[in-house]
A and B are shown apart, each in its own frame.
Chain A
Amino acid sequence: MDLLNAVVALSNFVLVPAIAYGSQLALGALGVTLIYGILRFSNFAHGDTMAFGTMVTILFTWALQAWGVSFGPLPTALLALPFGIAACMALLLATDRVVYRFYREQKAKPVILVIVSIGVMFIMNGLVRFIIGPGDQRFADGERFIISARDFKEMTGLDEGLAIKTTQGITVVTAVIVVALLFWFLNRTRTGKSMRAYSDNEDLALLSGINPDRVVMVTWLIVAALATVAGVLYGLDKSFKPFTYFQLLLPVFASAIVGGLGSPLGAIAGGFIIAFSEVMITYAWKKVLGYTLPESLEPEGLVQLLSTDYKFAVSFVILLIVLLFRPTGLFRGKAV
């Protein structure tokens, strides 16, 4: 019984939140990794791209709610998601047309593109704040829980409760679907294969008649979709605030780099590694150890390795370790 309680407490505070957070990071990191693999630069505007897509989704969610449209027990935001993706696609294509294409034609070095992307980041940053404001927005509706802590306790008679939020369930399911679609697209379709070819060797790809403009455009479209989905899932699960999306850039980049930049599989693994490290290192293990250890060994303190304030430091440290000892990442991506 004690062991069961320990497992439930661990699931409630570590496993379930970390899996949901990991899925959100993985989707964000996939976008970063695709841009790095195909367009060959680190896109610092990615966090704010997520914020922009989410913002449009929120505005459409409010419109739908005002018209009385709802999605039953599921959040209305899922209905608004396609609009958000479309707007985000339009924004990224416009940015590419106005900004990035110029530098691509100049054959600018990646470092210049990185700095350009920082400029784009600031503009998107301002745009989002200008439209929706810097404050917190909550837009989740529908059923809050798949199972709530209280119901779980009553059902099982255990001391510990397990809560699974609807948003956590949706996050994982959506992430699985999106990732499956992406891999099918990259591995099975003609366009996907041409993208991989372009990523592997640009000159060879051009010689074999691949249209570079088309590859670039499709990349931006996919990235827009990924960023918006990741942003909306994060916003549904937690809350939307432009500044927190800007801060998400660090764990997202850490995930992409840990997995290996340019490797989609690596981005997913990286997302979960970062999420689990952040949650497990800042979790207070007192309760779980209290259930599993014999009474004499029960810990007095909280057994918390790092205070939760240092959450972001965890991504930083992992990033540093990986860059020092395995710069290509776990899945042999490109060296940074």
Chain B
Amino acid sequence: MKKFLMATAAAALSAGAASADDHAVKVGIILGFTGPIESLTPHMAGGAEMAMSEVTESGKLLGGKAVEPVRADSTCIDAGAASAAAERLITAEGVKGIMGADCSGVTGAVLSNVAVPNGMVMISPSATSPALSDAEDDGLFFRTAPSDARQGEVLAQVLMDRGIESVAVTYTNNDYGKGLADSFAAAYEAAGGEVTTTAAHEDGKADYSAEVGALAAAGGDALVVAGYVDQGGPGVIRASLDSGAFDRFVLPDGMIGSALEDTFGDEIDGSVGTVPGTESPGADKMLEMAEAAGIDGTSPYVGESYDAAALILLAMQAAGSVEPGDYKASIMDVANAPGEEIFPGELGKALEILAGGGDIDYVGATDVELIGPGESAGSYREIVIEDGELTTAGYR
């Protein structure tokens, strides 16, 4: 009992201390620290915390406020647990903005169950589901990752430019694969291409010759494989090559990886693909900074996480307030032109410009350009496989 009382007293004290401290602003980081992407999230959180400590050290946020990150676990798959964690961040920790969540499913749940009712701003670094574009968000939700709908469009454009006008599509049977296949098919048909058939494949089978048989019956100049490079994708390609059904493949981001070069070499020469990427000098700068901070900057979505956290803080400065209701309208302003371009490591300079009433165009690590309902326009690297190697054909 005594311990319980002491713990309660301590908790009350610390809560009181937090609310009394005018010089710190808390920002929540809600990512799946346990669950299917637990190997990626520590780097992503590290990226976001880098931006926060950069701002704290500059001492220029709203007259010298410090930024204090608070981590919470989204689990990536359990909507209930993620909502509870977000609720805790807002009610118990009193965060003023949320960097997260990560996976599309939990992000949608946290947004509708917690963020919108509480009027909290959320910027997700990695939720790519097209469904989130139409989510009811009261202008509170943004993402620094592009929607998969965008990748579908880019991929369709790549194919049309290369004169591939009829394809068969197979996708891995989950939200990612289905969403991507649908958005690609819509964009491709709108551009005048023909999708001969669309069929799902299950990951982790020994043999895909039956699936390929059905795809081959429908025909097409190439086969779009919207799957994973370490799952069923290579099996589908192998069965297609073996049976002579297809020898040219179209590979979205999940299929681009060095494992592809190792497995197939020059057997799939002439295949094309897309993967998020940018030529912006911000990306190199980000890698350098991450390395100095001991984070793996090449891990996916680290740059997006840095940018998401930076956008929250810059918007606070622009609005002159830490309240989500005040600064939510400033996020689009700081992210887009006009104004001075801001790269990673220049957050102090940006805060100074904003304090002086100037305008900035945040470029960041991933060439941030927010469009439509507040999501990244997305720039992609166009990949062509030549002599058994993934080569960059350009950026879109």
| A175→B200 CA distance, assembly (Å) | 33
Nearest chain B CB to A293's CB is how many angstroms away? 14
Of residues 186 through 238 on chain B, the ones whose CB sits less than 8 Å from some CB of chain A are: 197, 199-200, 202, 204-207, 209-211, 213-214, 216-219, 235
| A12→B214 CA distance, assembly (Å) | 12
| A95→B235 CA distance, assembly (Å) | 35
| A13 near B202: Cβ-Cβ < 8 Å | no
Q: Which of A145, A238, A243, A307 contacts B207 (CB 8 A)?
A: A238
Question: At the interface with chain B, which of A30-38, A266-274, A281-289?
Answer: A281-289
| A316→B326 CA distance, assembly (Å) | 62
| B213 near A13: Cβ-Cβ < 8 Å | yes
Q: A241-B206, A309-B200, A309-B202 are in contact. Are A283 and B244 (CB under 8 A)?
A: no
Tell me if B243 counts as interface (CB < 8 A to partner A).
yes
Tell me if B38 counts as interface (CB < 8 A to partner A).
no
Chain B: which residue is nearest A165 at the CB level? B242
Chain B: which residue is nearest A240 at the CB level? B206
Interface size of A by Cβ–Cβ distance < 8 Å?
A: 39
Of residues 294 through 328 on chain A, the ones whose CB sits less than 8 Å from some CB of chain B are: 302-304, 307-309, 311
Q: A12-B244, A163-B243, A307-B199 are in contact. Are A283 and B214 (CB under 8 A)?
A: yes
| A241→B204 CA distance, assembly (Å) | 9
| A285→B216 CA distance, assembly (Å) | 10
| A59→B211 CA distance, assembly (Å) | 30
Q: A13-B213, A282-B214, A302-B218 are in contact. Are A153 and B244 (CB under 8 A)?
A: yes
Tell me if A244 counts as interface (CB < 8 A to partner B).
yes
Interface size of B by Cβ–Cβ distance < 8 Å?
A: 22
Q: A286-B218, A307-B199 are in contact. Are A150 and B213 (CB under 8 A)?
A: no
Tell me if A189 counts as interface (CB < 8 A to partner B).
no
| B210 near A308: Cβ-Cβ < 8 Å | yes
Give per-residue flags for A189-209: 1 if the beta carbon is below 8 A from chain B beta carbons, else 0. 000000000000000000000
Residues of A within 8 Å of B218, CB to CB, are 284, 286, 302
| B210 near A282: Cβ-Cβ < 8 Å | yes
| A138→B206 CA distance, assembly (Å) | 10
Nearest chain A CB to B205's CB is how many angstroms away? 7
Nearest chain A CB to B393's CB is how many angstroms away? 26
Residues of B within 8 Å of A282, CB to CB, are 210, 214
Residues of A within 8 Å of B219, CB to CB, are 287
Tell me if A264 counts as interface (CB < 8 A to partner B).
no
Q: Which of B205, B207, B243 contacts A149 (CB 8 A)?
A: B243
| A163→B240 CA distance, assembly (Å) | 11
Residues of B within 8 Å of A144, CB to CB, are 242
Of residues 329 through 376 on chain B, the ones whose CB sits less than 8 Å from some CB of chain A are: none
Residues on A lying within 8 angstroms of B by beta carbon are 12-14, 17, 136, 144-145, 148-150, 152-153, 161, 163, 165, 234, 237-241, 243-244, 278-279, 282-288, 302-304, 307-309, 311
